[in-house]
Amino acid sequence: MAYFYEEPSHTFSEYLLIPGYSSSECIPNNVSLKTPVVKFKKGEEPALTMNTPLVSAIMQAVSGEKMAIALAREGGISFIYGSQSIEDEAAMVARVKNYKAGFVRSDSNIRPDQTLKDILDLKAKTGHSTVAVTDDGTAEGKLLGIVTSRDYRVSRMDPSTKVAEFMTPFESLIYAKEGITLKEANNIIWDHKLNSLPVIDENQRLLYMVFRKDYDSHKENPLELLDASKRYVVGAGINTRDYEKRIPALVEAGADVLCIDSSEGFSEWQKRTLDWTRAKYGDSVKIGAGNVVDREGFLFLAEAGADFVKVGIGGSICITREQKGIGRGQATALIEVAKARDEYYARTGIYVPVCSDGGIVHDYHVTLALAMGADFIMLGRYFSRFDESPTNKVMINGNYMKEYWGEGSSRARNWQRYDLGGEAKLSFEEGVDSYVPYAGSLKDNLTLTLYKVRSTMCNCGALTIPELQEKAKITLVSATSIVEGGAHDVVLKENNKISK
């Protein structure tokens, strides 16, 4: 006979936090949102942590390279979508890893016998105004000069002018030799008021470029998430079909963490993927799994070797609950899985982080999810609204919107995400194609969201996520209480913003 749960499952909107004692130290600026991303043993430090407990969903409409760069700047991680060719996903990961580093391999290079028109075409293609002039036009060629936008005037020069005629020649360059530290390179940039510094080997061959903008960016974004080589941290999605080819390509491209992208993770297919990964790479490749909604599902994936486990099935853009009748209220699912995580840690000494995926409608739901036991939260709709998402901004009925579609929609046709071992096709839709209100830049919106999270944590007397999970008092609320909590029995004025 089927098992029946005695209690209904609940959503985040059905809960509220009860305020706790706040000391004078409990101010938002003192709150740390640092959180583990991958499993670790008791007494040890996790191999990968985040400064902001948010990751962007593995979706075509959310996580491209621009999103990955923008989110890493703010201390989070973007998981590049896997519903594309292996080559395209690996290239996207590589571009994120190469975008910002203390030492950057030059991707804008030209020969001295090429022309101003070639310079302009290259600038239009890469978006970079600093171009290295090498003998063979490659990033490893002998450095002969540098071209920046200050070296030419389009309105006064013939497009056929040779690069050699207007470049800054090597003899006039300030450069550094191989072996210089990042701190020393930045000191040279500042002492000589440079925008870039080429680094060469003993044969004058170009190795790297160091840019002032990278230093400035770090000062403006103190929470930015970098790897040991000062490159942005980025994740990538995989599936349970072509993982034997996709994982090596993503590892080679530099992905810091992988995640199996599936609507339902309590399956042999995920265990096979994890087994293969551990057999080939041991624990060196970090890989999350999911999604699950109960204790059994979590324990299955934790024991299979997952580095983190995602929780949540259905909701918002995903219509799996509607189509298949499977799923669970996100709050209830998260609470049960978090308890299983703590039991597993007590029994084995291994802490497996939990990622809450879905169910976030309001900013305060993020704080609730953390209080209920989530180590970090995966968001799709939230991030899809921003400039950095890879979709088009369109005008709908006088309002700017961003396109947003699910991986199970006919538009994405990500059949691998819903694969149960049958034919290689999407048999029916488990996602929709839609619009979300355009919200502007990621940085502005995320700053506000995180300030709300920190403020609520202070109301609960907590300065860290573990402290919030220990101290939080959470209550279910009635339908009437939910109505009471919002504006009611008043006529709201139009919300006009006044610019100063």
From 95, 328, 417, 454, active-site residue:
417
The C-alpha atoms of residue 60 and residue 80 are separated, in whole angstroms, by: 8
Indicate the burial class of 164 (C-beta count within 10 angstroms; 0-12, 13-18, 19 or more).
middle
Is 328 noted as a catalytic residue in this protein?
A: no
Rounded to whole angstroms, how far apart are CA atoms 240 and 271?
9
413 is catalytic: no
**Coil, helix or strand at residue 288:** strand
Instruction: Give me 83's structure tokens.
Output: 């519903």
CA distance 226 to 217: 12
Distance of CA 111 to the CA centre of its chain: 36
Q: E strands within 266-362?
A: 287-292, 309-311, 350-351, 354-357
Which one of 95, 231, 259, 318 is the catalytic residue?
318
Strand intervals (E) in 323-444: 350-351, 354-357, 376-379, 393-396, 399-405, 433-437
d(CA 100, CA 94): 11
Q: Look at residues 194, 276, 12, 107 and name the one whose alpha carbon lies nearest to residue 258.
A: 276
Residue 470 and residue 39 in contact, taking contact as beta carbons nearer than 8 Å: no
Asked if residues 104 and 260 have their Cβ atoms less than 8 Å apart, the reply is no
Q: Which of 407, 393, 317, 319 shows the shortest CA–CA distance to 360? A: 317
- Pull the structure tokens for residue 416: 């691998």
How far is 486 from 480, CA to CA, in rounded Å? 10
Query: 204 exposed, middle or buried (CB, 10 Å; 0-12, 13-18, 19+)?
Result: middle
Q: How far apart are CA 214 and CA 225, in angstroms?
A: 13
Exposed/middle/buried for residue 346 (C-beta within 10 Å: 0-12, 13-18, 19+): exposed
Enumerate the active-site residues: 318, 417
